[in-house]
Amino acid sequence: MERRTIGATALGVGAVGLGCMPMSWAYGRSEQRGDRSLRAVHAALDAGVSLLDTADMYGPFTNELLLGRVLKERRAEIFVSTKCGLLVGDGHVVANGRPEYVRRACDSSLRRLQTDVLDLYLLHRADPEVPVEETWGAMAGLVAAGKVRALGLSAVGVRRTRRSRTGDLYEGTIRQLERVQQVFPVAAVQAELSVWAPEALARLLPWCVARGIGMLAAMPLGSGFLTGTLTPGGGFEPDDPRARHPRFTAEMMAANQPLVAGLRRVAARHGAEVTAAQVALAWVLAQGRHVVPVPGTKRERWAVENAGAAGLRLTAGDLAELAALPAARESWEYPRS
């Protein structure tokens, strides 16, 4: 698999990563099986994937414990990225950016992952009660202590609004990045980027490229929508976040089918074995060598298919056709739970 680097750190990873969150958090909890997830991780590694993306809050904690079983056997092949800064309570999530907490969280993640160093440590969310420079300073101390190789910031929780269609969705994220960059270099930013969520291309990605910062593209398959395997109105499990998301109402899923149809048309030109999901990932890869898509899955079949997208090269005509697809539509009101 093609190799890409994470920021100025020159830490090399496979061009396609593996998002491990679905293995023990959020999507389809009734289908989460440890042994099946382990097979998916091993299959991804065998296919050339090296970046495994997790967080202490996934589970909570069980995601890191699961990956620790793999790292114990195949550490040399793995670039492990995990996150701190969010605590899971009873039905809610809160930010914690206190320096003493960050240091404890890192030590706990190291134990669960069965490793002595984290390749990339991301701040999951900034704590509004703690200056982000203080949190980042504690994280920088972990690099100095040899517990972490590089630092990153997650912007995955940014919620779209009507204003974001005309303004900059990531304006606040860039302000945070400018502040922490003065404390210690940012190696990577994790943000949503896909054919149906291209907002990061407007300013965030150019900002990162200009500074040699890598981007981990979260949700590059639109939380499963761009695979074409989800049926409008098919329903989700009650605790699946898509059950309450405005893009996954039956009406909006039906309205956005032209995006899936466009991906399928491009896939068909590249051969019967190429899928819409692979085209969606190849589009993300085509946004520049600073970008590493991190599709999430808990199934071996999808892990291998996603890895295969690294070998798909879209033509200028393909990219032009995808650029001409209608913008994703969504209801701006979150359904009541």
Residues with catalytic annotation?
58
d(CA 175, CA 180): 9
Contact in structure between 45 and 19 (CB atoms under 8 Å)? no
The 3-state DSSP class for residue 81 equals: strand
d(CA 168, CA 177): 15
Q: What strands lie across the sheet with 51-53, from one edge to the other?
A: 18-19, 51-53, 79-84, 120-123, 151-154, 188-192, 214-218, 291-294
Contact in structure between 282 and 312 (CB atoms under 8 Å)? yes
d(CA 314, CA 283): 7
Contact in structure between 25 and 58 (CB atoms under 8 Å)? yes
Please list, in sequence order, all residues whose beta carbon lies within 8 angstroms of the beta carbon of residue 320, skipping any fewer than 6 positions away. Answer: none
Report CA-CA distances (Å) from 317 to 259, 262, 290. Answer: 16, 12, 22
d(CA 70, CA 68): 5
What does the angle CA 67 – CA 281 – CA 160 come to, to the nearest 5 degrees? 90
- Kindly state the helix (H) or strand (E) to which residue 282 belongs, with its residue range: helix 276-285
Crossing angle of helices 300-308/34-46, nearest 10°?
Answer: 20
- Kindly state the helix (H) or strand (E) to which residue 18 belongs, with its residue range: strand 18-19
